[in-house]
Structure 1
């Protein structure tokens, strides 16, 4: 592998002199040099072996072609995708003559006039596909374009074997690109922050909506439960009152024993209402002659026993106790009063009795 000097020609022409090359001075081909002979008819012959003794008789000239591998260092200004910015490229190319006959025909002396335009054209096509900030990717693409398996044939028998490029930026372009990269990075960070904030806000809104819906469901369930309990209590009280009206008072007393006086007052008021109703009904019946005198004593006894049995459930003392049923004309509208006796045993009331002798004069008093 040689770094060829510009003054050294790639192809050297040697005129054939019959007297000198018949027995001696017959150049032999090697790995780094090829021999191309030009016969008298103008045909070129690439010989891979030394011409035998006396074999030069039919040739006019000999071309010694340099076929060794050479390295050429070049510099280019390559465009980027934006076309306004350029890569500063340092190129190292490996090349050699792969067609000695073509090199001899075209009298190749220097590879630069052929090699440089070809390399620049290929490199520009590759670099123009990349933005200015992606120089590393452009370098890899250039190396792949000149891979050894992709040997590129150039004019005059030359071939490019491999090419490596190092891309850089001038100071002004580098400063501009640095600012642009920082701006793009800041934009990406801001966009990510906004996206994250949007996701968090959406999650909070969804959570708040779930929480509100849960509260509404709980409130609805609570109201439904209260309504069901109210209906259940109504059905329970209706059932209890259907069996016995006093069951409601018993439940009140069981829930709050401190309401005993209130419960007793309610019982006494209820009995007083019953007593007043019975007394008024009996007076009305007597007034209109709906009952006989003989039935009055039985009705009084029955009413007295019913009321006495009801009042016997709670120790009470009626004050004042009536001695006899008052006459309709002299009856009073004042309600009976009762006093709760906590320690006194329950005592039935004495039944009310009329005198056995009830004459017609007494009937006038009732009327």
Structure 2
């Protein structure tokens, strides 16, 4: 069984070996001894487990036994690295209000203070196990400062590490640690400058948008005033021209205003019917009755007569008809000028006074 991603089989237990320089954690390997176990390696401590629950810790300096049976042999052996090692990694700590991040480097010097606990906790990767509690402690400090106070947050973290409250950091894993944190001041300054540039650029963009909006409003104010002065029906005409898809909505509003006899609504709606924009079947009965009534009394509702559609032809003038003797009598054509007189009776022609027939 291999650990720490060494990627090679372990040598026999009697053969000496060297710990790698980039050791990630103290837990090296676990195996079941095939015979009586003899500890020979100076770079590791052996933790021996017995069937009765006891254990022994053996180094080149001696052995420490806890409830070891008199004649029993170990059922399992764990190798735990000795000496001091280091885990280095990068951190990102939040600024005040979580608006940005401080970039920091972390170095954790560690060594095993309790070999049995390191074996029990199976500490294979120190960074993975210590990063969460380390970040949790440092976030409480970094959140007091903004990105423009990188020097101050670095000093505050150093004071926190030197306060004596970090003496037991990692002890729950059987480790003794010493923690070093360094804030990347150059990166913090660059990030702060980038933030300022972004804010300035954003303010300029917003200023340009506001200026454009003001210009648009100023350019449209005259048209808006004209629409207001022209009344509601002209506004509806403008809305219909701009968005034909709102025809049903506008037609419904016009009918409502026509039923309420709002000024101009019935005139405008009738004109839309005359022009073929609105069909008669789209008009409800009440409004249709109002339109028919307005046609019968057009001089009241329409002082100038019903408005004509732009494409309609003018009505030709009709000749004047004098009143006849009876309602069903045929119309009498107008008298010809000077030398003509109307005839008498049905079928009688018109003759000149000097003609031969007249003299007879």
Task: Compare CA radii of gyration and give the structure with the larger one.
Answer: 1
- Shorter-chain TM-score bucket reads 0.3 to 0.5
TM-score (norm: length of structure 2)? 0.40
Task: Calculate the TM-score normalised by the size of structure 1.
Answer: 0.40
